[in-house]
Amino acid sequence: MKTRDYMALALVVILGVFVQIILLTADVRETPVRAAEEFTRAFFKLDPDMTERMCADLAADKTFVDNLIHDTAIEARNRGFSPGYMRMQLFQVEASVLAQDEQSAQVHLRSEMRRSIHPAFAAFAKMWNLGEAHHLDETLDLVKEGDQWKVCNHGLQIAM
């Protein structure tokens, strides 16, 4: 290979690294849409870490999350299932900001959800169109606390 070929190859590699750095930087930026999606995914997975994306008023009430998980587990047992049966995985999430200012935002989420007993279960169920698909169409209110957007008001409910 000639020197010119090596230089072209080096230029392509450097350009690829540069584009990758730009994409990674854009991916970690804090936005209301990102916060709403993270909270909603954690909520439907029944993950106690959902409190990380809840505003201080809601997160301070630890009984909210504990009661949600406990009540959902009881409902699953009453139906003859393990608590993991109630978890849902979101697919085809569409989120848009309806209104936003410096300290508050309103985000509308639309998504399809499927049971997620195991992470692979929901993917296979979607792939082969097995089981019931639930539809989410919800608006979340967010506030900015420090550097992060947090969910303060929602009407989300676990699909039974």
Give the neighbor-by-neighbor strand order of the sheet with 134-145. 88-100, 104-115, 134-145, 148-153
Taking only the tens place, the pLDDT of each residue in 106-149 is 999 999 998 888 778 777 877 888 778 889 999 999 999 988 99
Report in angstroms the alpha-carbon separations of 114 from 50, 81, 131, 148, 150.
Answer: 19, 16, 8, 29, 25
Q: Would you state the CATH architecture of domain 31-153? A: Roll (3.10)
Specify the pLDDT at position 160.
57
pTM over 0.75: yes
Specify the pLDDT at position 80.
92
Paired with 137 in beta bridges are 110
The list of the chain residues with pLDDT below 70 reads 1, 26-27, 159-160
Amino acid at the residue 77: R
Specify the pLDDT at position 126.
77
Sign of CA dihedral 22, 25, 27, 29: negative
Q: Which residues contact 80 (CB under 8 A, 6 or more apart)?
A: none
Specify the pLDDT at position 39.
93
Amino acid at the residue 98: L
Query: What residue spans define the domains of the chain?
Result: 1-29, 31-153
